[in-house]
Structure 1
Amino acid sequence: MTSGNHQAELASAYLFHLAKERRLSPLTCESYARDIRALLNLAQETPLDRLQIHHVRRFAAQLHGEGFSGRSLARMLSAWRGFYRYLTRDHGYASNPCDGIRAPKSPKTLPHTLSPDEAAKLLEFPASDDLMALRDKAMFELCYSSGLRLGELAGLKPEDLSLDDGTARVIGKGGKTRIVPVGSKAAQALREWMKQRQTLAKPGETGLFMSRYGKNISRRSIDQRLKIQALRQGVSANIHPHVLRHSFASHLLQSSGDLRAVQEMLGHASISTTQVYTHLDFQHLSKIYDATHPRARKKEKS
């Protein structure tokens, strides 16, 4: 067996371990697979057990020179580090050449959010005469109402809804289940959609949201439909479902100030992930301050 074939088999075994033993989502496994393929391409003929820390530093520098951001490199190094931890534990590798290597820092970027007025403008479209519009309204209202990830939205089933209680059961990252609130506008849109869902659903299809062909709707289709709707409503063209999730978190934090509650609703494992929204909230307050405080406003030119 050639070195390249053996290394590819090790990578496949690790990805199987991530999917079946650690039960990571298909999307997360795809990301790991891309990062590990990059490592194998960079290593070329050098066996994985011969790679040293200076090799990995050179790989990171090469990717950085090709335009990879610090954040992308940090994710990639994390994937490589995990791969080598698996190799040392299960395949007798002596050391982890990725330990201690840090990616270059990237400038912090805050997530893009809609203002409350923009969110309302996006979601206020008629849907009574169009089955697809009825479905889209229910999807987008729920995404904004409950701060769902795209995969969570696409994976919902009718039995996950408890509209009388105003809640939904969501399976998030790592297979973790959480209960999220469903607002009144989202609940109303979902009730209207549920009356029509069976007219589309093919036998055996279990998803909450159907494509026009009666199949469970894909993530890609949800993303495309949202972009189309944003253009129709005259909202920014660069809208995707995660913008609705960011907007949910930002608007909730502005109203409540309860970071722990926002963390719980978003399904974040760490509060540090949620804290990015405090920066958005501060930006919001800074704009109000600059516009209204008499000592902050710029003097008009005479």
Structure 2
Amino acid sequence: MEFRKPKNKDQRAREHLLPNEVERLIAAAQSMGRHSLRDSTLILLSFRHGLRVGEAVALTWDCVDFAGASIYISRLKNGKPATHPLKGVEIQALQRLQTEYPDSRYVFTNERGGKLTTSAVRKIVTRAGEIARIRNCHPHQLRHACGYFLASKGFDTRAIQDYLGHRSILHTVRYTELAPDRFKDFWQD
């Protein structure tokens, strides 16, 4: 008998995490042992910049501009690269991470100083999800969480498209379609 992976909709009601779930995931990662700074920073940046797993593991220190408070994101899947601003909490975490792993070319490094594998990232996020009591948690939910968060804040769909590196707006409208503010004026009590 052939094993078939269950469909996502059969495992969870939605494919994105809510902001409070992301916070719980980061807090869980902060409690996970000697690589807690790396793991929590990985989750924070994946959420804030809508990173795919492959994009996160490929980040190198030369993409981070501390003086300019920005980070260059090279997108996969034929996505458009972009330079994103870095905020205070991200800069502090990255500076601490660079101090902790000074000899690595990669932002998110393994025990030997090389880049983390995508498999390792999946395990980190899954483990943090278990600690945070978030069922069936996976890294791509952080990218979706970024898109839904920006849409729920009312940001322009074209700006979200560019931020996430989508070539086609059809990949971006999924976030605005579920934004709760779309329906806020339907009923007046």
Q: Give the SS at the match of 1:138.
A: helix
Aligned residue number for residue 35 of structure 2: 132
Query: Partner residue of 2:47?
Result: 144
Look up the match of 1:182: 86
User: Is residue 210–residue 217 contact of structure 1 (8 Å, CA) maintained in 2?
Assistant: yes
Aligned residue among 117, 122, 139 for 1:218: 117
Q: Deviations along 1:184-218, whole A, 9 cap, x unmatched? A: 3222221111111126x4xxxx3221112332111
1:160 aligns with 2:63: yes
Alignment partners' CA distance in 2, 1:127 and 1:119: 12
The alignment's C-alpha RMSD in Å is 3.0
Name segments (4+ residues, structure 1) moved above 6 Å: none
- 2:148 equivalent in structure 1: 250
Larger helix fraction of residues: 1
Q: Cα distance, 1:293 vs. partner?
A: 6.0
Secondary structure at 1:168's aligned position in 2? Answer: strand
Greater relative contact order structure (CA < 8 Å, 6+ sep): 2
| Offset, 1:232 | 1.1
Unpaired segments ≥5 residues, structure 1 = 1-66, 68-109, 295-302
How far, CA to CA, are the matches of 1:178 and 1:277 in structure 2?
19
- Judged with a 3 Å threshold, the aligned counterparts in structure 2 of structure 1 residues 129 and 213 are, in CA distance, closer, same or farther, namely same
**Paired residues of 1:141 and 1:185 also in contact (CA < 8 A):** no
Which amino acid counterpart does residue 254 of structure 1 have in structure 2? S
Task: Tell me which amino acid in the other structure corresponds to 1:115.
Answer: L
Larger radius of gyration: 1
Residues 146 and 182 of structure 1 are in contact (CA less than 8 Å); yes or no, is this contact kept in structure 2? Answer: no
Alignment of 1:113 with 2:16, yes or no, is yes
1: CA distance between counterparts of 2:83 and 2:14?
24
Whether the aligned pair in 2 keeps the contact of 1:132 and 1:212 (CA below 8 Å) is: no
Distance 1:237 1:190 in 2: 28
1:143-201 residue CA offsets vs partner (Å, 9 max, x unmatched): 111111111111110110113433211211337532123333222221111111126x4
Encode CA deviations 1:108-167: one digit per residue, 9 max, x unaligned: xx9611122112121124749944111101111111111111111111101101134332
Q: Which runs of 5+ in 2 are unaligned?
A: 5-12
